[in-house]
Amino acid sequence: MLAPSLNYNDSATYRRLIRRAKARAHVKTLQKATGLLSPLNLRAATDLRDVDWSVKGCYVLVRVKKDGVSVYVGKTNNAKKRLKQHGRYDLYAVRVCSSDRETEDLEMALYHLVKARQKENANHPAPADSCPYCSP
């Protein structure tokens, strides 16, 4: 582990969701989400001005605090523009998606994999009623 404060990925939830996955596509999405949440993929927010992230995709924003980190996950049709709208975050990661469905599923997987106490997202991403990762 890189640092205890960067331990925001809920590995127990990941294992449970992998076991329950009904479709291979859901397993692949969970694997993508875990990769995107990896601290190894995070970049300094100051790098954002140097990168052309004018793409559709999902993103992870990490705010480093004295007592740990908080994490926000989202989706967008223009990652660079959306990330700038969020304001001050210290780290970020972006994953390009090729379709709206891929973007929705990846955002929902990210939402479920971030530990609840560190998650900044107040609400489940839409469309919550078709989330493949929610308990039946």
Q: What is the pLDDT of residues 125-134, one digit of tens each?
A: 998 888 989 8
Looking at the DSSP assignment, which residues form a beta bridge with residue 9?
A: 114
* Contact assessment for residue 87 and residue 63, using Cβ atoms and an 8 Å cutoff: no
Neighbour tally for 35: CB within 10 Å: 12
Look at residue 109 in the predicted model and tell me its pLDDT. Answer: 95
| 15 phi and psi angles, rounded to 5 deg | -60, -40
Residue 81 confidence class, pLDDT cut points 50, 70, 90:
confident
Q: Residue 122 has which token pair?
A: 């107040």
Distance separating alpha carbons of residues 116 and 58, to the nearest angstrom: 19
Checking if the pLDDT of 47 tops 90, the result is: no
